[in-house]
Amino acid sequence: MAKGAGLGAWVDDDFAHARQIVVVKNSGGFEAAANPFASSAGTENSAKLAQFILSEFQDIGAIVAGVIDPETKALFEDKKVPVFLAAKGSVMELAEAARAGSLTRA
């Protein structure tokens, strides 16, 4: 979850309302898309966003977010997608840290 669409974009600390979804693929590439729920109010945004990500993107190595609620975390982990917490850093830095095992699991 990021504030911009590229690998140099900074992580957004609010999973449900992040402006961009940036998926770094296990295979090495990446995809970016606007978060369709970024401006929506309501507590169900996290679950809707998780379901959107799981249905729209393939080959997801991990989710990195500043904050994520337990129910949304469980949605990802049920699909074998690990969830990590990070308050700052670029998408690329955090992808590398996740691969190296140096991020904190949610």
pLDDT tens per residue, range 20-77: 888 877 777 788 888 998 887 666 888 999 999 999 988 888 888 888 889 999 999 9
**In-domain check, residue 30:** yes
Q: Are 15 and 66 in contact (CB under 8 A)?
A: yes
How high is the pLDDT of residue 27? 75
**In-domain check, residue 90:** yes
Range of the domain at 98: 15-105
**In-domain check, residue 68:** yes
**Residue that wins the pLDDT comparison between 34 and 87:** 34
Q: Are 97 and 89 in contact (CB under 8 A)?
A: yes
The predicted model gives 81-101 an average pLDDT of 86
Angstrom distance (rounded) from CA 1 to CA 4? 9
**Residue that wins the pLDDT comparison between 5 and 98:** 98
Q: Which residues pair with 12 in a beta bridge?
A: none
Q: What's the CATH code of the domain at 68?
A: 3.30.420.130
How high is the pLDDT of residue 17? 85
Q: Which residues pair with 67 in a beta bridge?
A: 14
**In-domain check, residue 39:** yes
How high is the pLDDT of residue 42? 67
The predicted model gives 82-89 an average pLDDT of 87
Q: Where do runs of H (alpha helix) occur along the chain?
A: 45-56, 70-78, 91-100
How high is the pLDDT of residue 77? 94
**In-domain check, residue 7:** no
Domain count, the chain: 1
How high is the pLDDT of residue 53? 93
- N- to C-terminal Cα separation, the chain: 14
**In-domain check, residue 1:** no
